[in-house]
Structure 1
């Protein structure tokens, strides 16, 4: 989820190429609508700074409505202050990635490792 269409398309192609099923959303409301309609996400990557509803608003609504509670949450943002990292962690965000600090293939690797770690914690029967 990002309001920057270029970045959204680039990451969508990168993750699709890595074998992921991808749902891209240009706004928090679009992402929430997809989740309310039953889209089940294993991982949610989102920007914190967005018009209208920011990433924290998205996290609050997702939590309140109990939408995909088991999803791995990853903030992919240009914000990097400690207060925002702490607030994100309070919502269960597992990774806080500053966009400028990683190339897309590195972000894909973070997601793969996050999924592997989650699978180790919650093995399927």
Structure 2
């Protein structure tokens, strides 16, 4: 389990954030959240915490694909693990997320066991 890392949930739907926070906190994780990609980038750049990012890929404005590319192209945060979280569940969607720079992919509705395995695999 992650003792020194926080999970940053980036999702424009507060209901998704609420459900994920409850689930992850119940399993002992420390969780923060943002509703916009730009806010997430600023949080990550602050450098005060070590994060794993759960990135919703379908958001207004800067979508998750662009946000992941921005993370990967920013030297001080490019090492941060990102798990793509999306309702798009076709095989080509997984590949698109990985090509954008995500370390792993979990489809919605989220299977919590698969999410925890993905988090532990990249931490």
Q: TM-score range by the shorter chain?
A: 0.7 to 0.9
Contact 1:47 1:77 in 2 (8 A): yes
CA distance in 1, matches of 2:67, 2:76: 11
Residue aligning to 1:52 = 61
CA distance in 1, matches of 2:39, 2:118: 24
The answer to whether structure 1 residue 37 and structure 2 residue 25 are counterparts is no
CA distance in 2, matches of 1:106, 1:83: 19
Q: Structure 2: which 5+ residue stretches go unaligned? A: 1-9
Partner of 1:93, secondary structure, is coil
CA distance in 2, matches of 1:83, 1:69: 24
CA distance in 2, matches of 1:93, 1:65: 14
Residue aligning to 1:103 = 111
The structure with more strand, counted as a fraction of residues: 2
CA distance in 2, matches of 1:39, 1:80: 34
Contact 2:106 2:114 in 1 (8 A): no
Structure 1 stretch displaced more, 52-61 or 65-74? 65-74
TM-score normalized by the length of structure 1? 0.77
What are the residue-to-residue correspondences of 1:1-125 with 2, within 5 Å? Answer: 1-100=10-109, 102-115=110-123
- Write out per-residue CA displacement over residues 14-57 of structure 1, whole angstroms, 9 at most, x where no aligned residue: 11221212111111011011112224343111111000110011
Partner of 1:46, secondary structure, is strand
Q: Structure 1: which 5+ residue stretches go unaligned? A: 116-125
Aligned residues: 114
Contact 1:14 1:108 in 2 (8 A): no
